[in-house]
Amino acid sequence: MDNESFSQSLIENGYVVLKQCISSSLIIEHKQAITFRLGQLLEEINIPPKGDIYLDFLEAIKHIRQFTVQGELSKYLTYKELHRKKYLEPKVLEKLMFALGSDLECNLEPEVLVNVKDVTDGYLVKKLHQEFWSGCGLNTLQTWTPIAMEEGMGGIEVIAGSHAWGHVPHRNREPIDIPGDAEYTVVNAGEGDMVVFHSLLLHQTVPNRHEYPRIAMPQGVRNFHDKDTGFEDLKKWDAFHYSPLSQIRKKLGNPHLSPFRTYNSERN
């Protein structure tokens, strides 16, 4: 996808699907890390793991609260720096720099969301909402990245163009009113793809009808110079890309521009 098409889709529809922008090796790295941590969790309660990402997750949530399991997976992926690696993939980084600039940061410890068949908990199967409702700023792009996903596992559904409606009135995490002519679209995204969307885009979970769980990572990314228009200060952030000017500032070290601070220093 060229930059013009990316821009047009984001402006008009409020979202873009970057197809096959994440290497298969990185997806495998995510799956291996999740499988490893699931194995650890099962061994801690004296249950031998099978070494299968789907079966081990389903076994884990029989004994441990799903919210807790997801939290442990999120922490481990962050420990392995997988929360940032996908943004450094060339096709992804190019589009983020085009949309946001070169000084980029992403949410630290993004939540791993897992959707299991017949589970209807409102936290796990989300109704129509805008990320703005949860403190996401207008200058932050939200991403949704499938990690383990097969045919029939659902995904996310959006109302194309709803980002241009502004802040939609809501109560108890649901819109109060939706225009009758709203166009609902189930986003076509699978492993290796990334959905990038505006914080005001209305979207919801498409329930999983498959016997195995669907695993994905929602996460925010922004330019760290942009003014916060939400409650982003309550979240943790990790800078993963710097512009040349920001790299010079890092070398200078402080706003006082200390003369010769690193002159002839042996430290790199």
85-132 residue pLDDT tens:
999 999 999 999 999 999 999 999 888 999 999 888 877 888 999 999
The confidence band for 268, taking pLDDT boundaries of 50, 70 and 90, is: low
128-153 residue pLDDT tens:
999 999 989 999 999 999 999 998 89
Looking at every residue in the chain, the average pLDDT score rounds to 93
**Window from 15-29, 59-73, 90-104, 225-239 with minimum mean pLDDT:** 225-239
Asked if 197 contacts 14 with a C-beta cutoff of 8 angstroms, the reply is yes
pLDDT of residue 262: 82
Domains of the chain with CATH codes: 3-252 (2.60.120.620)
pLDDT of residue 259: 85
On the CB side of 218, CA atoms within 13 Å amount to: 19
pTM: 0.92
On the CB side of 76, CA atoms within 13 Å amount to: 20
Beta 104-107 vs 214-223: how paired, if at all? antiparallel
